[in-house]
């Protein structure tokens, strides 16, 4: 961290900054310029925050010069990390597509969804047993009953299951039903108690980006999970909120490239929530794979017109199967497989 002092400062003001640095167990280096004096904090700067210095007399600004996220950073681990979900590798040469309905509705619906997911060539299945909804009057999911239906349907085709955890108090239930990958939704990206809770279990965690979260905030949320001991983290770009109203969210394809530079962890994309319309999903999926995404989280419903939530963005089984063929061609062009 560096602390920049104003141009009219006293030795006492400099000493106050130095003492605060040393009190945190770091060393201070003072560089006196013609117009400014800069004090550098040498050591583990994670112990320091800008707020520790900016209120002090004579301090103009304070800023970190090293990344605050350590475990998830590319600097700490040069090679790409592969995270296994139910024995399926994610993050390597093979691109994984996780498909299934937005929510678990009925056993028949889930049985058909599992069948079509498997037939399309997808190796994992998604589905919401607990549903965060904008309206308190909308369908909120079947809860534990939904997990039972989901597991029963997916087991027939040996599909690992991915479902969203909304509350740390539900974590024991998720472990009891052996959910293969825990999804942390966009609304909970900065629910730090929840992040700490999943950091203590040995389960892959798919961390979705918040609607208006910066890359740095997203990486720091992942660091919360990693700091608890769980390094099986997968980033999921699902579109960000902007001024545009022509589609649900703006898929930030740039984020894929930035994350690949900043972190060694896998990156996947949710094109369904980004576009909000089924007809957009194939194009967004193709763009994501071409940009380097390690996988996709796609909504598919046996009968989208009858879906209980997010009907507009769900692919039909036929559309999913057709899209998988296209993705295979794009993956092959960049030296990967689907």
DSSP 32-45: E-SS-EEEEEES-G
Q: Are residues 46 and 146 in the same domain?
A: no
Average pLDDT value for residue range 255-268 = 97
Q: Are residues 127 and 37 in the same domain?
A: no
Record the tokens describing residue 297, joined without a space.
């989280």
- Percent of the chain topping pLDDT 70: 97
Look at residue 222 and tell me whether its pLDDT is greater than 80.
yes
- Residue 40 inside a domain? The answer is yes
- Residue 38 inside a domain? The answer is yes
Q: Are residues 146 and 43 in the same domain?
A: no
Q: Are residues 149 and 36 in the same domain?
A: no
User: Residue 19: which domain range?
Assistant: 2-63
Average pLDDT of the chain, as a whole number: 92
Residue 170 to residue 99: CA distance in whole angstroms:
23
Q: Are residues 202 and 311 in the same domain?
A: yes
Per-residue pLDDT of 169-195, as tens digits, reads 999 999 999 999 999 999 999 999 999
- Residue 307 inside a domain? The answer is yes
- Residue 278 inside a domain? The answer is yes
Which CATH number do you get for residue 153? Answer: 3.20.20.70
Q: Are residues 20 and 90 in the same domain?
A: no
At residue 278, the pLDDT reads: 95
Query: Do the strands 181-184 and 205-208 form a parallel or antiparallel pair, or are they unpaired?
Result: parallel
At residue 255, the pLDDT reads: 97
* Stated pTM of the model: 0.84
- Alpha helices by DSSP H, 124-269: 144-155, 171-176, 192-198, 215-227, 253-262
- Residue 134 inside a domain? The answer is yes
Highest mean pLDDT among 73-87, 122-136, 268-282: 268-282
Look at residue 259 and tell me whether its pLDDT is greater than 90.
yes
Q: Which residues contact 119 (CB under 8 A, 6 or more apart)?
A: 317, 321
Q: Are residues 31 and 127 in the same domain?
A: no
Look at residue 132 and tell me whether its pLDDT is greater than 80.
no
Query: Do the strands 233-237 and 161-164 form a parallel or antiparallel pair, or are they unpaired?
Result: unpaired
Q: Are residues 130 and 171 in the same domain?
A: yes
Q: Are residues 202 and 276 in the same domain?
A: yes
At residue 139, the pLDDT reads: 67
Query: How many domains does the chain contain in total?
Result: 2
- Residue 116 inside a domain? The answer is yes
Q: Are residues 218 and 301 in the same domain?
A: yes
User: Band of the pLDDT at 138, cuts 50, 70, 90?
Assistant: low
Per-residue pLDDT of 8-65, as tens digits, reads 899 999 999 999 999 999 999 898 877 789 998 888 887 888 899 999 999 999 988 7
User: Band of the pLDDT at 1, cuts 50, 70, 90?
Assistant: confident
Coil, strand, or helix at residue 216?
A: helix
């Amino acid at each position: 961290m560096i602390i920049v002092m104003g141009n009219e400062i006293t030795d006492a003001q400099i000493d106050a900054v130095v003492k605060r640095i040393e009190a945190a167990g770091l060393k201070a280096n003072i560089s006196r310029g013609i117009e400014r004096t800069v004090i550098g904090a040498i050591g583990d700067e994670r112990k320091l925050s800008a707020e520790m210095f900016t209120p002090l007399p004579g301090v103009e600004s304070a800023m970190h010069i090293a990344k605050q996220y350590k475990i998830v950073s590319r600097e700490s681990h040069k090679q790409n990390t592969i995270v296994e979900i139910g024995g399926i590798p994610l993050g390597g040469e093979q691109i994984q597509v996780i498909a299934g309905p937005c929510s678990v509705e009925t056993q028949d619906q889930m049985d058909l969804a599992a069948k079509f997911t498997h037939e399309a060539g997808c190796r994992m299945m998604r589905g919401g047993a607990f549903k965060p909804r904008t309206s308190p009057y909308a369908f909120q999911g079947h809860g534990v009953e939904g997990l039972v239906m989901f597991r029963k349907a997916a087991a027939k085709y040996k599909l690992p299951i991915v479902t969203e955890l909304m509350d740390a108090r539900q974590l024991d239930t998720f472990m009891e039903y052996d959910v293969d990958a825990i999804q942390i939704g966009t609304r909970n990206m900065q629910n730090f108690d929840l992040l700490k809770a999943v950091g203590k279990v040995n389960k892959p965690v798919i961390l979705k980006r918040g609607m208006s979260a910066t890359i740095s905030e997203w990486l720091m949320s992942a660091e919360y999970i990693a700091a608890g001991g769980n390094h099986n983290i997968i980033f999921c770009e699902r579109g960000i909120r902007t001024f545009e109203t022509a589609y649900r969210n703006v898929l930030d394809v740039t984020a894929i490239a930035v994350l690949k530079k900043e972190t060694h962890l896998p990156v996947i994309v949710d094109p369904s929530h980004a576009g909000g319309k089924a007809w957009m999903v194939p194009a967004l999926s193709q763009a994501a794979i071409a940009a380097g995404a390690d996988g996709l989280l796609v909504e598919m419903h046996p009968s989208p017109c009858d879906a209980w939530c997010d009907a507009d963005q769900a692919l039909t089984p036929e559309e999913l199967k057709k899209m998988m063929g296209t993705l295979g061609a794009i993956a092959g062009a960049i030296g990967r497989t689907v």
